[in-house]
Chain A
Amino acid sequence: MPRNALILLIILVLFLPFLPLLVWSVAQGWFFPQLIPQQWTLEHWQQLLSASSRIGEGVMQSLAIALTTTVLSLLVGIPAGRAMGLMEFPGKPVLKLFLLTPIIVSPLATLMGIQFVLIRLGLSGTLLGVVLVHLMPTIPYMTLVLASVFANFDVGYEIQARSLGASPIKVFSQVTLPLIAPGVAVGALFAFLISWNEFLLTFFVGGGSVFTLPMILFTLLQGGNNGLIAAVAITSIVPGLIFLFVASKALQNEAALGGLGSV
């Protein structure tokens, strides 16, 4: 079975960078050239949990920002995805491209341009300001995913429900939403992870007072405390792994992802 052996080898290589992270997070003074640490310890994890390291605060801030960003981009992305997936109208390709520019074009110029506006509005260095700029990459992805979901959506169900006397709200909550639920899950997964993993936007707008996990990791990486770096790194991949697992069914669903293949 050379084919399966090859797949196994690729999986092993992909997992390789996690190996030193796992070891470092429980190693005490793992000096070169020791292959295996002489002593094991939980001190990095204790340090992570202690209030003085402010890492728990970072987890809470990351969660608050990512959840708010996800909800807001769902609210905006569902109608936008419906228009893009179900309707034909003049100017559609141009508007689609315009919506996608924030994920292809570097945000650096934009960030430098709006920085003084955010400072004047009092949004610089606040969670709200960070949520606002996180919407720039999440809305395009959300719209893209939901557009391909709506492209396979049969409006007939809605018309049927309407003609049977259901109110528009009831049609949406009992007919439309259940039908687009897998796509909504994938879109929410993308939005949450983009926001959770985002570094540059937080770095510019957070102004050193918003401490998400990527900000903490960036600061730690410029020092040399490998044990704490490893513990924080492992903590920051937990939601990603949970979501990958939960959404694995939806990720197999080509309807939800085909959209990325036809930008």
Chain B
Amino acid sequence: MVQVVQPELRRVRSRIWAEWMERSRPYLLLLPALSIIGVLFGGGLLLALFQSLGFFTLLGPGELSLEAYRAAYSNSEFWTSLLQSFYIAIVATALSTVLSVGLAMLLRSANRWATLACQITLPIPHLVGIAGILMLLAPSGLIARVFLALGWIQTDQDFPLLVNDGASIGLLIHFLWKEIPFITLILLAVLRGLNPAYEQQARALGASPWQCFWNVTLPLLKPGILSASLIVFGFIFSSFEVPFLLGAIQSRTLPVYVYRAFTDTDLTRRPEAIALGLTLSAISIAVIAIYLWITANARSQVSGKRNS
């Protein structure tokens, strides 16, 4: 009896083991990536949270309090910098998304070299872009020199302030210059993956090129547009060196304000700076949540249409 049961038992056990291995395989494959991100990013966020709540300070253990958040939010500079960050991120993301859709449509049938040339800013470090924009748009920059040579302005005083300016024109130009090729690259990839039959059908049924774009191509591009603009918005909203070097001194963005608070010689301002940093992260997370909500709605709309 025992001799009969044992091999059977072993077989069942090895089958369960094999099944368990099969089911846990994706998790095992993901484990290294997840644990590095979890420990570094998640762990960092948790430690920041503890410090902002006063669990421990640089000087030793402390006690739980919301003092850091009260101090952070009661400063009017926080609110103006928050507003400034939203202004920059929304305007830059919206403009670069719209222009990228146009550029992607333009490049769709262009040759490889034109497409490659339009991606030139993609691998360029932001700091190089900043240097180029400063030397181009500053009151003593190349464009001002050209205007003067053409007699359009008399002195560099006549040239409009385009860098470190109150309206953040230089900042926006930099982000457009850098992000349009990025979004365009993603949209071109999506466009190439589309089934051309939809557009051909629409044209064959008498749609004008504009109707075909508006009613067929654009809806098909929508998921790509949404996720590309999410990445770009998140990037611009949390960008530090670009507003630090190209933005106006009197209107700081939130990351620049956070950095100033963190490097303040007054060390007691540290928890406040960390509270501000966490607020910055919380806003980005909220934006992701809104994005997911929008895409989930869009998806259910599509499947709803399909069912009806």
Give me the interface of A with B, judged by CB distance under 8 Å. 3-4, 6-7, 10-11, 14-21, 23-24, 32-35, 75-77, 79-80, 82-84, 87, 89, 92, 95, 97-99, 101-114, 116-117, 132-133, 135-136, 139-140, 143, 189, 193, 196-197, 199-200, 213-214, 217-218, 221-222, 226, 229-230, 233, 236-237, 239-241, 243-245, 248, 251-252, 254, 257-258, 260-263
Contacts and interface: CB of A to CB of B under 8 A. Distances in A.
A243 B123 CA distance: 8
- Among B26, B41, B234, B237, the most chain A Cβ lie within 10 Å of the Cβ of B41
Interface of B: 23, 25-27, 29-30, 32-34, 36-38, 40-41, 43-51, 58, 103, 106-107, 110, 112, 114-136, 140-142, 144-146, 148-149, 156, 177, 181, 185-187, 189-190, 192-193, 223-224, 227-228, 230-231, 234-235, 237-238, 240-241, 245, 255, 258-259, 262, 270, 273-274, 277-278, 280-281, 284-285, 287-288, 292
Nearest to B27: A89
Given A106-B280, A132-B40, A248 B116 contact: yes
A222 B45 CA distance: 31
Given A33-B148, A218-B127, A237-B124, 9 more contacts: A7-B110, A10-B103, A32-B144, A80-B32, A83-B25, A106-B234, A196-B125, A230-B131, A260-B231
Nearest to B116: A248
A199 B44 contact: no
Contact of A104 (B133, B156, B189, B234): B234
Nearest first, the 5 closest Cβ-Cβ pairs linking A and B are A17-B132, A240-B123, A113-B48, A106-B238, A110-B44
Contacts of B145: 32-35
Contacts of B237: 106
B251 to A, nearest CB: 19
Given A80-B33, A113-B51, A200-B240, A87 B189 contact: no
A254 B193 contact: yes
Nearest to B191: A254
